[in-house]
C-alpha cells in the first residue's frame, strides 16, 4: 500500500496508451475507444503555460507592497532564502512527480505513496476554491476595462450619480462642505469601486442583491476560460503563446511610461531602500514564506498537472531553475512599474508614498486607476493596465481549471476520455463554478471573498501540505528513490541539495513558519475595522480545516481497508510514521480551531492570506 510502484522500474505512459486503473477490468476493445491523453507539442508550450500561471496578480500587486513594507531591498534576503530552501525544491518535486507518472496530482500518488493520496485531494479542494473566487478579479477588471471607453474616466471626478457629498477630487475643495481632505473624505476612485462596482453592503450578514453588470462580466470570463481549456493541452498550449507573453509587453509599456513621470524616482527609492532592522521582525519572514508558496504554485496541483503532459525525457530539472528565475524576476520588475506610478501620484498630491501605497484590490482598482486619471491620455493607460490584469488572471485561471480536469479524467479515464465527454464535463464544471461565484458578485460578495481567501486559500494550508508532501516523498517513498526516477528521465542525477531540502530543510522551515503564524494569529477584519460574526469565522475555519484534514482522513480510510489485525497493519516503521503524522495533524487542527473560536491568540495579524486576492 505504501509503495505500490517499484521505484527502480521505469514508468512511462505514452500519450496514446490507455491507463488501467487497479481493480477495474478493461479490454482491448474499450482501450481503442479512448482518446489520447495528450502532450505538449513542444517544450516552449510547457514553459509558457507554467510561466503564465506563476506570473499572476500576486507578482503585480503583492510582492512590491511586501518589499516596501518589510524593509525594501532587505526583504529580498528572506525571500531568496525561502526560494532556495522551499520554493525551488518543492517546485522540482511536484513537476517531476507529474512527468514521471504522466498523471495528475491525485492519481500520481498511487505510484509513489498511496497512503498519502489525500494530499492530492486536499490540493484540489484548495484550487477549486481558488478557481471560484480568483475569476471574480477578472470580472472586476472587465468592468473597469469597459468603463475606460468613455470621454472621461468615471473614477476621475465627483460629478457622478453614485458620488456622495464627501467625495473630494485631487487638489480640489468640496463645494458643498467647503473643506479639503477632512478625516471622513473619500476619493472618486474609492467611491467608484465601493458604490458603483461593488455596491458594498454593511457586512456579510447583508448579502444584498446581485450586481448584474458584474455577473455578466463573470459570465464572459468563464466563457473565455472554457474555450481556452476545452481541448486540453492542445488548446491551452496554443493560447499561452498570447496570454503568457502579452502581459510582459504591457508591463514594459507601463514601466516605460512610469519612469518618465515626475516623482517616479522617489517611488522607486521608497520601493528598494533597504532597512536591515526589519529583518529581526519574524513577520517579515512569514510574509516572505507565504509569498514564495503562492507565487510558485506550491501544493496547488498545477505544477504536477502541467508536468504530466511533458515528454518522459524532458529535462524538468533545468526547467525548474529557468521558471523560478522568470517568476522571481517578474515580481521584482513589476515593483518598478507600480512604484514609479505611485511616486508620481505622491508627487501630484503632495502626500507621502506610504499613504498612497496599497496592496491587493486596493492597488489595482483604487490606487492605480486614480494614478492613471492624472496622466495625459488616461483612457489609453487605463485600457493597457486592465488588459494586463485580465491576461495575468486568465493564465492562472485556466491552468487551475485544467488541473481540475486533469485530475478527474485521470481518475476515470474510461468514462471521460471519449468523444465529447471531456467537453461536457468541462461545461458542467464551469457552470457549477459560475453559479457558485454569483455569491461573490452580490453586494456582500467581497466579505465572502476575503473570508475564503483568508481561511481556505491560505498560507497555513499550503505550509502544512508542503510539510506533508516533503515527508511523504523524502522519508516514506524515499528521496533516493525519486532521484533514481529523475535520473531515468533526464539521464543524470541532480545535485544532492534538493534531496537535503526534501528530507530536512523544507519540512523544518515550513513547519516553523506555520507555528509562528498560529502564534501570531488574530481573527480576520475587513478593512481593519469590520469584525465578522462568529458563524462566519466558524465557517471559514471549517472550510480551511476541511482541506488539511483530508490527508489524515485518507490515511485512516486506507488503513481501515487493509486486511488483517491492527498489529499486522502497523508492522512496518513506515506505517507507524504515517499514523503518527495522522495524530499530529488532528492535534494541529484542533488547536488552530480552538484558538480561532475562543480567542487564544496574541500578537498582530499574520499576513498569510492569498496574495492573489
Side-chain-side CA neighbours of 545 within 13 Å: the count stands at 17
Q: Which three cell numbers stand for residue 453?
A: 481567501
- Closest by CA to 240, choosing from 392, 103, 381, is 392
Residues 411, 414, 415, 419, CA torsion sign: positive
What is residue 41's three-state secondary structure? coil
Q: Is 327 annotated as a binding residue?
A: yes
Say if CB 287 and CB 359 are below 8 A apart. no
Q: Which three cell numbers stand for residue 246?
A: 502579452
> Any residues with CB less than 8 A from the CB of 538 and at least 6 apart, and which?
597
Q: What is the Cα–Cα distance from 119 to 473, expressed in whole angstroms? A: 11
Q: Is 395 annotated as a binding residue?
A: yes
Q: Is 55 annotated as a binding residue?
A: yes
Q: Is 315 annotated as a binding residue?
A: no
> Any residues with CB less than 8 A from the CB of 425 and at least 6 apart, and which?
405, 408, 409, 416
Within 10 A of 263 (CB to CB), how many other CB atoms are there?
18
Q: What is the Cα–Cα distance from 543 to 538, expressed in whole angstroms? A: 9
Q: What is the Cα–Cα distance from 147 to 138, expressed in whole angstroms? A: 14
Phi, psi of 203 (to 5 degrees): 175, 175
Within 10 A of 576 (CB to CB), how many other CB atoms are there?
11
DSSP structure class, residue 501: I
Q: Is 480 annotated as a binding residue?
A: no
> Any residues with CB less than 8 A from the CB of 566 and at least 6 apart, and which?
none
Residues of the binding site? 52, 55, 59, 295, 327, 392, 395
Known binding residues for Na(+):
52, 55, 59, 295, 327, 392, 395
Amino acid at each position: 500500500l505504501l509503495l505500490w510502484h517499484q521505484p527502480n522500474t521505469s514508468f512511462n505512459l505514452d500519450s496514446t496508451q490507455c491507463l488501467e486503473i487497479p481493480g477495474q477490468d478493461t479490454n482491448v476493445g474499450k482501450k481503442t475507444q479512448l482518446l489520447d491523453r495528450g502532450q505538449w507539442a513542444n517544450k516552449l508550450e510547457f514553459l509558457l503555460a507554467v510561466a503564465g500561471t506563476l506570473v499572476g496578480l500576486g507578482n503585480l500587486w503583492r510582492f512590491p507592497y511586501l518589499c516596501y513594507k518589510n524593509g525594501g531591498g532587505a526583504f529580498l534576503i528572506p525571500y531568496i532564502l525561502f526560494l532556495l530552501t522551499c520554493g525551488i525544491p518543492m517546485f522540482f518535486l511536484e513537476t517531476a512527480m507529474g512527468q514521471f507518472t504522466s498523471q495528475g496530482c491525485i492519481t500520481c500518488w498511487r505510484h509513489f505513496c498511496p497512503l498519502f493520496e489525500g494530499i492530492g485531494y486536499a490540493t484540489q479542494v484548495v484550487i477549486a476554491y481558488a478557481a471560484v473566487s480568483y475569476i471574480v478579479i477578472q470580472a472586476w477588471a472587465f468592468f473597469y476595462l469597459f468603463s475606460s471607453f468613455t470621454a472621461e474616466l468615471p473614477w476621475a471626478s465627483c460629478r457622478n450619480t453614485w458620488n456622495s457629498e464627501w467625495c473630494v477630487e485631487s487638489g480640489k475643495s468640496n463645494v458643498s462642505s467647503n473643506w479639503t481632505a477632512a478625516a471622513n473624505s473619500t476619493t472618486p476612485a474609492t467611491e467608484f469601486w465601493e458604490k458603483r462596482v461593488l455596491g458594498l453592503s454593511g457586512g456579510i450578514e447583508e448579502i444584498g442583491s446581485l450586481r448584474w453588470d458584474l455577473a455578466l462580466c463573470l459570465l464572459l470570463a468563464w466563457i473565455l476560460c472554457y474555450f481556452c481549456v476545452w481541448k486540453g493541452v492542445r488548446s491551452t498550449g496554443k493560447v499561452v503563446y498570447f496570454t503568457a507573453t502579452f502581459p510582459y509587453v504591457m508591463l514594459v509599456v507601463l514601466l516605460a511610461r512610469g519612469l518618465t513621470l515626475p516623482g517616479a524616482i522617489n517611488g522607486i527609492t521608497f520601493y528598494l531602500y533597504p532597512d536591515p532592522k526589519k529583518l529581526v521582525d519574524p513577520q517579515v519572514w512569514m510574509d516572505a514564506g507565504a509569498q514564495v508558496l503562492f507565487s510558485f504554485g506550491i501544493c496547488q496541483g498545477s505544477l504536477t498537472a502541467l508536468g504530466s503532459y511533458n515528454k518522459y525525457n524532458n529535462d524538468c530539472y533545468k526547467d525548474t531553475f529557468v521558471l523560478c528565475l522568470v517568476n522571481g524576476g517578474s515580481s521584482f520588475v513589476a515593483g518598478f512599474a507600480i512604484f514609479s506610478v505611485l511616486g508620481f501620484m505622491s508627487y501630484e498630491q503632495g502626500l507621502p508614498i506610504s499613504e498612497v501605497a496599497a496592496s491587493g484590490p486596493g492597488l489595482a482598482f483604487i490606487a492605480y486607476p486614480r494614478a492613471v486619471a492624472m496622466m495625459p491620455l488616461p483612457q489609453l493607460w487605463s485600457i493597457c493596465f486592465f488588459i494586463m490584469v485580465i491576461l495575468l488572471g486568465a493564465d492562472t485561471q485556466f491552468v487551475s481549471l485544467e488541473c481540475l480536469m486533469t485530475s478527474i479524467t485521470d481518475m476515470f479515464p474510461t468514462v471521460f476520455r471519449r468523444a465529447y465527454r471531456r467537453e461536457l464535463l468541462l461545461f458542467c464544471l464551469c457552470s457549477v463554478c459560475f453559479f457558485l461565484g454569483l455569491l461573490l458578485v452580490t453586494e456582500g460578495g467581497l466579505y465572502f471573498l476575503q473570508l475564503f481567501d483568508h481561511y481556505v486559500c491560505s498560507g497555513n494550508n499550503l505550509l502544512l501540505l508542503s510539510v506533508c508532501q516533503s515527508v511523504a516523498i523524502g522519508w516514506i517513498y524515499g528521496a533516493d528513490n525519486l532521484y533514481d526516477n529523475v535520473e531515468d528521465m533526464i539521464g543524470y542525477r541532480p545535485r544532492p541539495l534538493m534531496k537535503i531540502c526534501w528530507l530536512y530543510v523544507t519540512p523544518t522551515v515550513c513547519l516553523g513558519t506555520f507555528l509562528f503564524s498560529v502564534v501570531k494569529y488574530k481573527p480576520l477584519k475587513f478593512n481593519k475595522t469590520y469584525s465578522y460574526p462568529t458563524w462566519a469565522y466558524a465557517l471559514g475555519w471549517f472550510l480551511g480545516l476541511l482541506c488539511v484534514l483530508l490527508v489524515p482522513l485518507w490515511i485512516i480510510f486506507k488503513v481501515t481497508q487493509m486486511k488483517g489485525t491492527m498489529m499486522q497493519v502497523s508492522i512496518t516503521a513506515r506505517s507507524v510514521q504515517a499514523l503518527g503524522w495522522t495524530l499530529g495533524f488532528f492535534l494541529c487542527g484542533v488547536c488552530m480551531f480552538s484558538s480561532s473560536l475562543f480567542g487564544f491568540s496574541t500578537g498582530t495579524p499574520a499576513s498569510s492570506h492569498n496574495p492573489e486576492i
